[in-house]
Amino acid sequence: MPPRLPKPANSGAPAELTASAAALTLRAMAENAAVSSDQVIEGDCLTALARLPAASVDLVFADPPYNLQLSRELHRPDNSRVDGVEEEWDKFAGFAEYDRFTRTWLAAARRVLKPSGALWAIGSYHNVFRIGAAVQDLGFWILNDVIWRKTNPMPNFRGRRFTNAHETLLWCAHSREARYTFNYEAMKALNDELQMRSDWLIPLCGGPERLRDGAGKKAHPTQKPEALLHRILLASTRPGETVLDPFFGTGTTGAVAKRLGRRFIGIEQDKDYVALARRRIAAVRPAPAELVALESRREAPRVPFGSLVERGLLQPGEVLVDAARRWTARVRADGSLISAEHRGSIHSVAAQLQGAPACNGWAFWHVERKGELVLIDRLRQQIRGELG
Ligand SMILES: C[S@@+](CC[C@H](N)C(=O)[O-])C[C@H]1O[C@@H](n2cnc3c(N)ncnc32)[C@H](O)[C@@H]1O
Gap between the Cα atoms of 237 and 201, Å rounded: 21
From the list 35, 63, 31, 85, the residue with the least C-alpha distance to 246 is 63
Is the pLDDT assigned to residue 197 strictly greater than 80? yes
DSSP states along 69-81: ---S--B-TT-PB
The whole-number pLDDT of residue 146 equals 98
Question: What single DSSP character describes residue 269?
Answer: S
Report which protein residue has its CA nearest ligand 1's atom 19.
Answer: 44
The preferred substitution site among 68, 85, 104, 248 for testing ligand 1, maximizing ligand atoms within 8 Å of CB, is: 248
From the list 262, 265, 237, the residue with the least C-alpha distance to 251 is 265
Query: Average pLDDT in the 234-253 region?
Result: 97
Going by their DSSP bridges, the two strands 57-62 and 113-123 should be labelled as parallel
The whole-number pLDDT of residue 20 equals 44
Is the pLDDT assigned to residue 11 strictly greater than 80? no
The whole-number pLDDT of residue 21 equals 42
Assign 73 a pLDDT band (cuts: 50, 70, 90).
Answer: low
How many A from CA of 64 to the centre of ligand 1?
A: 6
Q: Please check whether residue 350 is in contact with residue 386, taking contact to mean a CB–CB distance below 8 angstroms.
A: no
Q: Residue 89: CB within 6 Å of ligand 1?
A: yes
Assign 18 a pLDDT band (cuts: 50, 70, 90).
Answer: very low
Q: Residue 268: CB within 6 Å of ligand 1?
A: yes
Q: What percent of the chain has pLDDT over 90?
A: 76
From the list 158, 146, 235, 121, the residue with the least C-alpha distance to 189 is 235
The preferred substitution site among 247, 267, 276 for testing ligand 1, maximizing ligand atoms within 8 Å of CB, is: 247
Gap between the Cα atoms of 223 and 217, Å rounded: 13
Gap between the Cα atoms of 88 and 108, Å rounded: 22
Q: What would the pLDDT profile of 287-344 be if each residue is shown by its tens digit?
A: 999 899 887 666 677 899 999 999 999 999 999 999 999 999 999 999 999 999 999 9
Assign 84 a pLDDT band (cuts: 50, 70, 90).
Answer: low
pTM confidence score? 0.72
Assign 35 a pLDDT band (cuts: 50, 70, 90).
Answer: low
The average confidence (pLDDT) of the chain is 88
Which residues make beta-bridge pairs with 120?
61, 171
Gap between the Cα atoms of 295 and 185, Å rounded: 7
The whole-number pLDDT of residue 78 equals 74
Gap between the Cα atoms of 347 and 23, Å rounded: 62
Report the atom number in ligand 1 closest to the C-alpha of 89.
15
Q: Residue 222: CB within 6 Å of ligand 1?
A: yes
Q: What would the pLDDT profile of 350-372 be if each residue is shown by its tens digit?
A: 999 999 888 999 999 999 999 99
Classify the phi-psi angles of 293: left when phi > 0, otherwise alpha if psi is within -120 to 50, otherwise beta.
Answer: beta
Would you give the distance in Å from CA 287 to the centre of its chain? 15
